[in-house]
Amino acid sequence: MPRFSIIVPTYGVEGRLSLALESVLGQPFGDFELIPVHEAAADSPAGAVSAAYATRDTRVTPVQSSPSGGLSAARNAGLAAAHGTYVLFLDGDDTLAPGALQAIADRLGGTGDPDVLYFAHERAHWWEGGTTVVRPTGPDTPAWSAAYRRDFLGERQLMFPIGHFTDLGWSGLVALAADRTAELRDTVCVRHLLRRRGSQLDAPGDHQLELLDQVELVLARAAAGQRLSEALFAQLFAVVLRSLAHPERLPAHHRRAFFRRATHLYRLHHPAGFRPPTGSLGVQHRLLATGSYAGFRVLCAAHRAVAGALAALPRPRAPLTRALYAAQRVLPLDRNLAVYCAYRGRGVGRDPAALHAKARELAPWLRSVFLVEPDAVDRLPSDVEYAVIGSRRSWRVLARAKYLVHNTDFDADFADAVVKRRGTVHLQTQHGTPLTTRGVRRSPYPVVAAASGRFTDLLKRVDRWDFCLSANRYSTETWERAFPGRYEQLEYGCPRNDVYYTATAEDVARARRELGVPEGRKAVLYAPTHRDHTTGHSPRLDLAAFCEAVGEEFVVLLRAHHFSDGFSGDGFSGDGTSRGSDGRIIDVSAHRSTEDVCLAADALITDYASLMFDYAHLDRPVVILADDWEVYRETRGVCCDLPTTPPGHVARTERELADLFRDGSYADLKADVLRAVFRERFCQFDDGRAAERVVRRVFLGERPEALPPVVPLAERTPAPAPAAATLVKS
């Protein structure tokens, strides 16, 4: 029998679940069983994470529970499966502090194994910029801030009550039943994440009525023969009064009845001799006890008036186009209109373009409009409908569209004024797997943060998202921390990468012909990234010297980053190639399709461009030129340590890079092994059907379980390499 059973409900927190499980498995005190509770669906993301950990560690024993039963059903399912002497609960987006289990075990032993041990926890703000330590207060403690003797729970038949506010009911019932309790006040055992949008329990709705159900459950149990302490009574009604102080949380037609029911419970169950606290809280107690609903409303209104007086500031006057936009929003939504925007309007490309193409196939009744900058108009495909950003037409389609699809974390300035109408659907596709920090995670890096805009404006935009696209679980975890919100994560892959699994040998040969790759040569794609801490475009690799060093076998396809000064291409449209070094350097920066450039390349050289994650789907050699990794990491911020988990060989100098290609080791067995590990982690969901899954889920409203399942990596076949394509052609 293990000392501890640690129960972790997982529904809705898949993005941070691995952090919670790792925090338990990394404890020096190892006498425990870890019970993740996930939904029963076969394709449950949390189920997949739990199963992977169970394979790795025999102490992990997942169980299933229906998400319709909520948090209570999950915890009860975990309790039914537990074998430990003591039971602990850990929310799936929280973490166990280092050394917590040893500290709890020591305190339990030192206090004679009490029924309940309450311990301190730390509330971590969502931006991870501050924490607050909360000492145990006995009954008024979350379920995950205590250890419970399992035999005690079984003897008293204690289970979590179904519904909302169950922590309140649970803690009250436990407090009534426990004969011996102890505290661990000076050791933080759980790090609890405070979500940016707060607890869903604080949201308005009929579920607020269930608060009194939980209070009455505890009070009725006390009336049936268990002593109700003055402390527990005060704590229960402190929660009730906090809710009454926010009448906007309750439907208007239920507010008076809620107050009357609270008054009835207060009068019926208050302990003899109970004295209300002093100050404003004491006044609220007395108003509740007397049933003075009008007086309570006046008191709360006065508090709100004082708090709101300082915040009341006049709004700036909107320009004429904003007024027209407001007028258009009065009109009904066009449920067959989808608006796309790629990279702040630079054209038609990447994931929005791939989704647009798939929507034409699966939902041909949808009308699509791309928002573009004025200088992109001449390069747009002839069959694409567009609106220039900031024009009256752009505001008109934004006001009426059912769907908005875009791929940048910091939208164009005009987007801050976009209003999310009821019934609209906003999809953030992102732009690939992130290597560098994004969103609010940029705040510690002044240069990047200054160029990114105000984070308060960013978070307002995040609040408009309904869906956010993810290529792998690493990205899911990154987006959840960088863009905290209530959107649904779509772990479907990147639609633009579908072509890497659907392209044929002829597609590869065509791409090489269009780019002018000579017959019999190996094409190396060089795609450097942008440096925020430098100005201008200073190539870090002398391509002419590289070509001379590696020999006539290779040509270089140069694709400069679109932020580089002097770079006229946009990566979306236009052809235009230029040659240098006797035709062995082909500038493909302005070529219309990044995907075609990748298909044409035999290998990729990059520094820290996220293109490496896309190119890895082709299962072709990748070499990293990391000559300034330490500087880049400290000035830009990164989400993973690339040199320790690279997709291939890492060169620190131009000479090392040239040597890898000159002797062929860029594609040796070690490179294959590194790439296989990289692909296993980052090529998780892309299988050629990402666009289809997104269109079916977002535009057609299909349920996740009805979508095409992701093909396992080992069963996928990437587009043929150029050499194979040449053989097929021959």
Least confident window among 191-200, 273-282, 419-428 = 191-200
> What are the distances in angstroms from CA 365 to CA 167, 325, 359, 672?
48, 25, 9, 45
Query: Beta strand 146-149 with 116-124: parallel, antiparallel or unpaired?
Result: antiparallel
**Residue 468 pLDDT > 90:** yes
H/E element, 263: helix 255-269
Residue 113: count other Cβ atoms within 10 Å of its Cβ. 15
Q: How confident is the model at residue 574 (pLDDT cuts 50, 70, 90)?
A: very low
Q: Which residues neighbour 172 within 8 Å (Cβ) at sequence distance 6 or greater? A: 139, 214, 215, 217, 218, 221, 232, 236
> What are the distances in angstroms from CA 567 to CA 247, 517, 591?
57, 22, 12
- Is 570 in contact with 590 (CB distance < 8 Å)? yes
- Is 104 in contact with 94 (CB distance < 8 Å)? no
**Residue 691 pLDDT > 90:** yes
Closest residue by Cα to residue 180 from 156, 213, 207: 156
Residues 581-586, mean pLDDT to the nearest whole number: 78
**Residue 240 pLDDT > 60:** yes
Residue 628, pLDDT score: 87
Looking at the chain, the whole-number percentage of residues with pLDDT higher than 90 is 55
Q: How confident is the model at residue 594 (pLDDT cuts 50, 70, 90)?
A: very high
Residue 100, pLDDT score: 95
The DSSP output letter for 559 is: -
Rounded CA-CA distance 670/630 in Å is 24
Question: What is the model's pTM?
Answer: 0.67
- Is 78 in contact with 63 (CB distance < 8 Å)? yes
Residues 214-220, mean pLDDT to the nearest whole number: 92
Q: How confident is the model at residue 573 (pLDDT cuts 50, 70, 90)?
A: very low
**Residue 602 pLDDT > 60:** yes
Q: Give φ, ψ of 52 to 5 degrees.
A: -65, -40
Residue 357, pLDDT score: 94
**Residue 521 pLDDT > 80:** yes
Q: How confident is the model at residue 473 (pLDDT cuts 50, 70, 90)?
A: very high
Token pair for 308: 């709101």
Residue 695, pLDDT score: 97
Residue 317, pLDDT score: 43
Residue 414, pLDDT score: 58
Phi-psi region of 44 (alpha: psi -120 to 50; beta: other; left: phi over 0): beta
Rounded CA-CA distance 88/147 in Å is 5
Q: Give φ, ψ of 168 to 5 degrees.
A: -65, -45
Residue 581, pLDDT score: 54
Residues 316-327, mean pLDDT to the nearest whole number: 68
Phi-psi region of 273 (alpha: psi -120 to 50; beta: other; left: phi over 0): left
Residues 201-211, mean pLDDT to the nearest whole number: 82
Q: How many residues are present in the chain?
A: 730
Q: How confident is the model at residue 131 (pLDDT cuts 50, 70, 90)?
A: low
Output helix, strand, coil percentages for the chain, rounded to the nearest 5. 45, 15, 40
> What are the distances in angstroms from CA 523 to CA 528, 545, 563, 722, 723?
16, 16, 24, 9, 10
Rounded CA-CA distance 301/615 in Å is 59
Residues 499-505, mean pLDDT to the nearest whole number: 96
- Is 396 in contact with 339 (CB distance < 8 Å)? no
Residue 603, pLDDT score: 97
Amino acid found at 228: L
Least confident window among 151-155, 332-336, 480-484, 649-653 = 480-484
Amino acid found at 448: V
Closest residue by Cα to residue 526 from 510, 542, 511, 514: 542
Token pair for 235: 């704590």
Residues 520-535, mean pLDDT to the nearest whole number: 81
Rounded CA-CA distance 158/160 in Å is 7
Rounded CA-CA distance 324/322 in Å is 5
Q: How confident is the model at residue 530 (pLDDT cuts 50, 70, 90)?
A: confident
Residues 526-530, mean pLDDT to the nearest whole number: 88
**Residue 578 pLDDT > 50:** no
Specify the 3-state DSSP secondary structure of 119.
strand
Rounded CA-CA distance 617/600 in Å is 14
Residues 158-174, mean pLDDT to the nearest whole number: 92
Q: Which residue has the higher pLDDT, 140 or 546?
A: 546
Phi-psi region of 410 (alpha: psi -120 to 50; beta: other; left: phi over 0): beta
Specify the 3-state DSSP secondary structure of 117.
strand
Rounded CA-CA distance 381/367 in Å is 16
Residues 294-311, mean pLDDT to the nearest whole number: 70
Cα of 272 vs its chain's centroid, Å = 51
- Per the prediction, the chain carries an average pLDDT of 86
Closest residue by Cα to residue 678 from 351, 433, 431: 433
Summarize pLDDT for 372-420 with one digit per residue, the tens: 988 888 888 888 999 998 888 988 999 999 999 998 754 445 556 788 8
Closest residue by Cα to residue 705 from 13, 208, 247, 40: 40
Q: Quick one: three-class SS letters along 59-82?
A: CECCEECCHHHHHHHHHHHHHHHC
Amino acid found at 349: G
Q: Which residue has the higher pLDDT, 138 or 285?
A: 285
Residue 34, pLDDT score: 97
Residue 653, pLDDT score: 94
Q: How confident is the model at residue 727 (pLDDT cuts 50, 70, 90)?
A: very low
Specify the 3-state DSSP secondary structure of 440.
helix
Rounded CA-CA distance 369/394 in Å is 9
Q: How confident is the model at residue 540 (pLDDT cuts 50, 70, 90)?
A: confident
Q: What is the dihedral of CA 346, 347, 350, 355, to 10 degrees?
A: 130
Least confident window among 33-47, 612-626, 663-677 = 33-47
Token pair for 727: 């053989």
Token pair for 296: 């309570």
List the beta strands (DSSP E) in 296-352: 334-341
Least confident window among 407-421, 499-513, 556-570 = 556-570
User: According to the per-residue pLDDT averaged within each range, which of 269-283, 369-383, 460-474, 713-727 is highest?
Assistant: 460-474
Residues 354-378, mean pLDDT to the nearest whole number: 93
**Residue 284 pLDDT > 70:** yes
Which residue, chain included where needed, has tokens 């997949």? 48
**Residue 565 pLDDT > 50:** no
